[in-house]
Amino acid sequence: MSLDGNEDQPPWARSVSDVLERQGVSKGEGLAEEDVERRLEQFGPNELHEAERRRWYEILADQFKSVIILLLAVAGVGAFLLGDTVEAVAIFAVLLINGAIGFVTEMRALSSMESLQELTVIETRVRRDGQDREIPAAEVVPGDIVVLEAGDVVPADLRVIDPSRLRVDESALTGESVPVGKTSEPLEGDVPLAERENMLYKGTYLTRGTAEAVVVDTGPDTELGEISASLQEAAEEQTPLQAKLDELGQKLVPFLLVVAAIVLVSGWLRGQNLFLMVETAIALAIATVPEGLPIVATLVLARGMRRMANRNALVTTLASVETLGSTTVICTDKTGTLTENEMTVAAYELSNGSVEVTGTGLDTEGAFQHGGQKRDEPQDPVLREALEVGVLCNNASVTESDGEVEETGDPMEVALLIAGLKAGLDRDHVLEEMPERREVAFDPSAKMMATYHDLDGRYTVAVKGAPEAVVESSTRVVTGDDTEELSSSERDAWLEKSDRMAEDGLRVLALGRKEVDDTEDAPYENLSLIGLVGFIDPPREEVRSTIQGCQDAGMRVVMATGDHAGTARNIAQSVGLVDADDVEVVEGRELDDPENLSQEERDRFVNAEVFARVAPENKLDLIDLHQSVGSIVAMTGDGVNDAPALKSADIGVAMGQRGTQVAQEASDMVLRDDNFESIYHAVREGRIIFNNIRKFVLYLMSCNLSELLAILIAALLAFPLPLLPLQILFLNVVTDIFPAFALGTCEGSEDIMDRPPRDPDEPIMTRTNWTELGFYGVLISVATIGAFVIAGGMYAGGMETEEAVTVSFLTLAFAQLWHVFDVREITSGTLRNEITTNLYIWGALGLSTLILVGAVYLPGISLALSTAPIGLDGWLVVLGMSLIPLVVGQGEREFRRRFGTPNFGTMLENTHPD
């Protein structure tokens, strides 16, 4: 911003003197303190308008925004109005426990995110009153003169005044992974951000060199701030799990009304008091609401969140944990996610042949090979010169200490130093023999840099740069201990070699040298071309198997990178994403006009697996294309410009190590290790969670249905009530919850990632599940009524009503406990499956059994529940009748597993598809 408010020309179009004049500052003196105070008051602190933090009471309130929670609250109020205080207290206790669990879990996730963001707090060096001083970046104001060096983070948007060997990593804004050079000269025309060579932007950082620059924008007025602000306007959408749970709750409302009506009408037809039957129907509806559902769902999601955190995947909201399980497409970038994010010299192309280099990353052990045979570097003068020039024309540093390698500087320059160390060339030792006398910093227009080195009274000029620039500046080529003239056709041949290396997925630099008598001689004339050097960012070792696992799970992996098409194709093949050499690579520019795409083009892009030269805005188009065909999309990103895409995706996945604060705030999940494998494990956990939720929903609702049917059957047969309302609530709140939560801890079947993703529109309870619910509910209720009838007629006069009700109560309770084994995966075995091998299941059964025994024999509890001791005969009835539903249910499930015969629900789905 200019202080006079005149914005007719942007700062990159003005000269340095004009910018300084408009900002009212002297380069040598900087701002005076009184100016700083005035400007700080005028423009505010140099901070982004962070996404508004949810306050603790907002997070707490969110735990109660659910149809099922609302049903429970209404049920609790109804219980109070009917005088059932114990029932009402129990229901509201469940609501409070559920809210507390969700609140604590999301507060912990928020705390973890804040810890990550504390890493972005920086200090910077500014010139004020003629003195350089360190201040917090938040105190920087427009007009400040900022002094930067390699490794510094740019604190605001700056206009470069005085650069020296300056290279800047702007990948957070532009997506370009290679650091760019900077100049102080003004630029003409409407220059896109990625080409503003005289500007430095907030959130980027220096990889090499130094600079003095003047602040032109701070805080929300920076490029980073504008993007951050735009994200906060986006509305949050409900996740699939939230929608499904609410849908289930909405289905319960008419169900409960029907239940109440049936009880009311049946009792009235039998001549019961109308008011009494209305009261009974309402009380029964209250008891039928699955009190355990919200608390168990919350506990299972919270556990899934912790398990994902242990796998380096920090999920920010509970419901997003499950959404991962329905993912059908994973759009991932390349650098650091599929690759190691460590540039490595992979090959040299020299006049006397090609040389392959082994060893990756910062590993200083490696060999130089030609055709699989080791190439003896000391006896190969051309290779020796290539290594020396790479080491000399270099500003990076590499140090080894206790087996650990530490590096600073441009990744490609670090790779050249590592290649030198593989050949025994240490830069410090080489510089002792050939001291550096002058450096010509990288010039974006020349696309080269050079260093002058003293050697026997003359100077060797070491040059590296873009192949087309170095080849064009070369008149000779190094052939050994001598050089030969470089013809025009040979130049074309070298450029073709460079293109082939790029097509093979390599980043390419050219190396050259010459000898001069004076350090003031021009650096880039009459060079002797040494050769080409190719770099690669090697793929992570585990990525190939992980991508195969994703494909086996029916998920498509799509790579979207800003790199060259050849690099993208090469990496895609090396990680197993594609097999064919001629696989089509779509370039980002083809997505620039998404609204006018033909259907053929849309189909082509949706089916493509590799995208190159992708700009951040292209990621949004890619997400829209996949979502338009019903896909659930996970998108990775780390830069500021990735944030809109992360927000738009069903699951936005930000990088924790190299990701920006804005990207992390926009995402649903942050990868602490930036590793693609962590996404795979998160998806697996999401699938397990949904299956577990379906298990305990089926378990809880079939148990509640069995209670309802038992009372209905008794009412229709004019029997006394086999269960009392408080006994039903006792089962719902106490004994149901422990097995249901144990079901939520199942590890999942072994083949869970060998199945395709479920239909994103598939409800928690399918038609098959509803049929199973009815089947199991009838089985358990019939067994309960049978036990009640047997107990009532066991002796000459039968048991007392209280004892008979106790038998039916215990039969129902234990039948429900054994029912936990009926909700196993249909593909798993009867005796060994994800439920029988779950120790939490056995613990829950043991604890629930103790509670049930206590409900009969502990005086206080038995009095409240109206239970009575039943003797050995009574217990034999309980055991025998409660096992009948288990035996029948397991038989039906085993029959389906062995013979693949569909049940009635499946046949309904096939004959009447949704």
Task: Tell me if residue 667 falls in helix, strand or coil.
Answer: coil
* % of the chain exceeding 90 in pLDDT: 32
**Residue 407, C-beta contacts closer than 8 angstroms, at least 6 positions apart:** 362, 396, 397, 398, 399, 414, 417
**Of 669, 786, 814, 768, the residue nearest 719 (C-alpha):** 786
Q: Which amino acid makes up residue 442?
A: F
Of the residues 84, 333, 650, 674, which is catalytic? 333
pLDDT band at 717 (very low <50, low <70, confident <90, very high): confident
pLDDT of residue 112: 47
Mean pLDDT value across the chain: 81
638 is catalytic: no
Q: Are 390 and 420 in contact (CB under 8 A)?
A: yes
Q: Are 440 and 463 in contact (CB under 8 A)?
A: no
pLDDT of residue 145: 96
Q: Are 287 and 79 in contact (CB under 8 A)?
A: no
**Integer Cα distance of 41 and 124 in angstroms:** 20
Name, of 288-302, 594-608, 774-788, the range with top average pLDDT. Answer: 774-788
Could you read off the pLDDT of 845-898 as tens digits, one per residue? 999 999 999 989 998 788 877 888 988 888 999 999 999 999 999 988 888 877
- Residue 3: pLDDT over 70: no
**Integer Cα distance of 480 and 478 in angstroms:** 6
Could you read off the pLDDT of 19-39 as tens digits, one per residue? 999 999 999 899 999 999 999
Q: Are 187 and 10 in contact (CB under 8 A)?
A: no
Could you read off the pLDDT of 446-502 as tens digits, one per residue? 889 999 999 888 999 999 999 999 999 999 999 988 899 999 999 999 999 998 888
pLDDT of residue 820: 93
* Mean pLDDT value of segment 558-581: 83
Six-digit token string for 5: 């408010």
* Mean pLDDT value of segment 673-696: 87
Q: Are 616 and 635 in contact (CB under 8 A)?
A: no
Q: Which amino acid makes up residue 191?
A: V
**Integer Cα distance of 174 and 193 in angstroms:** 8
pLDDT of residue 374: 65
**Integer Cα distance of 816 and 441 in angstroms:** 77
Six-digit token string for 238: 């409900």
- Residue 249: pLDDT over 50: yes
* Mean pLDDT value of segment 118-122: 51
pLDDT of residue 256: 66
**Integer Cα distance of 154 and 149 in angstroms:** 10
